[in-house]
Amino acid sequence: EAQVTQNPRYLITVTGKKLTVTCSQNMNHEYMSWYRQDPGLGLRQIYYSMNVEVTDKGDVPEGYKVSRKEKRNFPLILESPSPNQTSLYFCASSHRGRNNSPLHFGNGTRLTVT
Amino acid sequence: GQNIDQPTEMTATEGAIVQINCTYQTSGFNGLFWYQQHAGEAPTFLSYNVLDGLEEKGRFSSFLSRSKGYSYLLLKELQMKDSASYLCAVRGFYNQGGKLIFGQGTELSVKP
């Protein structure tokens, strides 16, 4: 089944404790992206990657890191989480260069930082 | 600047028709998407428009007017399961990675 898999689904952590949210897709998509979703603010892009070893900042990259060592994986790293990073996070992927290619979303990771 | 506007909330009755509007002002346009998102779940793709006109897909239809920067999603024969948030998103320039810029979503409540 074609899908984007992110883990964990729920995560509660404390300020300053490094964490990684994993994301993997099995559709051979070149483009991958991370979004966060907050009430009243909608989906905001954190980082994106157009291909292996190519990453770039989105609209709200502060406090986040990503890597794209393999085509299928695009982990999101919070080196020192803070309470303002409490949010619902989505990983998404699509074909690059095809305007009609929709973003396919993972099931989301609900992160709480205390 | 880039801006996508949708009504925050709408209410409709089971079996009725509802139209959710979206207006956009973006620096690039490579198509407009509609997504459905149930609370706490992932957005799922509904439709894509890049040319002016109406695209019909079962109970759902989507319309685009590029000259007016306007789209709507039409839901017919509403069912209780259609209660969800509906997201309008515009695909930007290719040099931004074909980024999707999302509106804040319209929360639709379907009442019996």
Q: Which pLDDT band holds residue B49 (cuts at 50, 70, 90)?
A: very high
Examine the pLDDT at B48 and tell me if it is beyond 90: yes
| A74, two tokens | 């695009």
Q: What is the pLDDT of residues B53-80, one digit of tens each?
A: 999 999 999 999 999 999 999 999 999 9
CB contact under 8 A, B31 and A104: no
Comparing CA positions, the residue from B75, B39, B72, B45 lying closest to residue B60 is B75
- Within 8 A of B89 by CB-CB distance, chain A residues are 103
Say yes or no: A71 contacts chain B, CB-CB below 8 A: no
Residue A75 CA to its chain's centroid (Å): 7
Q: What is the predicted pLDDT for the residue at A99?
A: 79
Q: Which member of A48, A99, A100 has the closest CB to residue B97?
A: A48
Examine the pLDDT at B2 and tell me if it is beyond 80: no
Cα dist from A69 to A51, A84, A92, A104, B93, whole Å: 9, 28, 17, 20, 25
Examine the pLDDT at B45 and tell me if it is beyond 80: yes
Cα dist from A90 to A32, A51, A87, B73, whole Å: 11, 18, 10, 24
E strands along chain A, which residues?
Answer: 4-7, 10-13, 19-25, 31-38, 42-51, 54-57, 65-66, 76-78, 87-94, 104-105, 109-113
Examine the pLDDT at B97 and tell me if it is beyond 80: no
On average, the pLDDT of chain A sits at 95
Q: Measure in Å the smallest separation between the Cα of B14 and chain A Cα atoms.
A: 26
Q: What is the predicted pLDDT for the residue at B29?
A: 87
Q: Which member of B30, B48, B99 has the closest CB to residue A102?
A: B48
Examine the pLDDT at B92 and tell me if it is beyond 90: no
Q: What is the pLDDT of residues A61-93, one digit of tens each?
A: 999 999 999 999 999 999 999 999 999 999 999
